[in-house]
Structure 1
Amino acid sequence: MKIIKKTPTDPDAILLMDELSKTLESITGDSGKNSFDPKDVCVPRSLFLIAYGEGEEPLGCGAIRPIDANIAEVKRMFAKAKTKGVGTKILLTLESEALKLGYSTLWLETRVINRAAVSFYKKRGYIQIPNYGKYINNPNAICFEKKLL
Structure 2
Amino acid sequence: MQSVPELKFVTVQPDNPDLRELIEELDEDLKARYPHEMIYVVDFSDPKVKEMTFVVAYQGGKPVGCGGLRPLLPDNSEMELKRFYVEPGSRKMGIAGKMLLDLEEKAAAAGCLEIKLETGIKQPEAIALYVKHGYRQIELFGQYIGDPDSVCYGKILT
Q: TM-score, normalised by structure 2?
A: 0.86
Deviations 1:26-57 (A, max 9, x none): 223448754322344411xx310001011x11
1:104 aligned to which of 109, 113, 116:
113
- Between the aligned partners of 2:36 and 2:101, the Cα distance in structure 1 is 26
1:123 aligns with 2:132: yes
**Structure 1 unmatched ranges of 5 or more:** none
Residues 8 and 31 of structure 1: is their aligned pair in 2 closer, same or farther, counting only changes over 3 Å?
farther
- Between the aligned partners of 1:99 and 1:11, the Cα distance in structure 2 is 27
- Between the aligned partners of 1:31 and 1:6, the Cα distance in structure 2 is 28
- Between the aligned partners of 1:22 and 1:35, the Cα distance in structure 2 is 11
- Between the aligned partners of 1:111 and 1:33, the Cα distance in structure 2 is 9
Residues 40 and 88 of structure 1: is their aligned pair in 2 closer, same or farther, counting only changes over 3 Å?
farther
Please name the residue that 2:78 is paired with. 71
The residue matched to 1:42 in structure 2 has which SS?
helix
Please name the residue that 1:21 is paired with. 27
- Between the aligned partners of 1:19 and 1:35, the Cα distance in structure 2 is 12
Residues 101 and 5 of structure 1: is their aligned pair in 2 closer, same or farther, counting only changes over 3 Å?
same
Alpha-carbon contact 1:108-1:145 (below 8 Å) kept: yes
Q: TM-score, normalised by structure 1?
A: 0.91
Alpha-carbon contact 1:41-1:63 (below 8 Å) kept: no
Give the RMSD, CA atoms, in angstroms: 1.6
The residue matched to 1:82 in structure 2 has which SS?
helix
1:59 aligns with 2:67: no
Q: CA deviation at 1:119?
A: 1.3
Which entry has the higher C-alpha Rg, 1 or 2?
A: 2
- Between the aligned partners of 1:116 and 1:105, the Cα distance in structure 2 is 22
Residues 32 and 74 of structure 1: is their aligned pair in 2 closer, same or farther, counting only changes over 3 Å?
farther
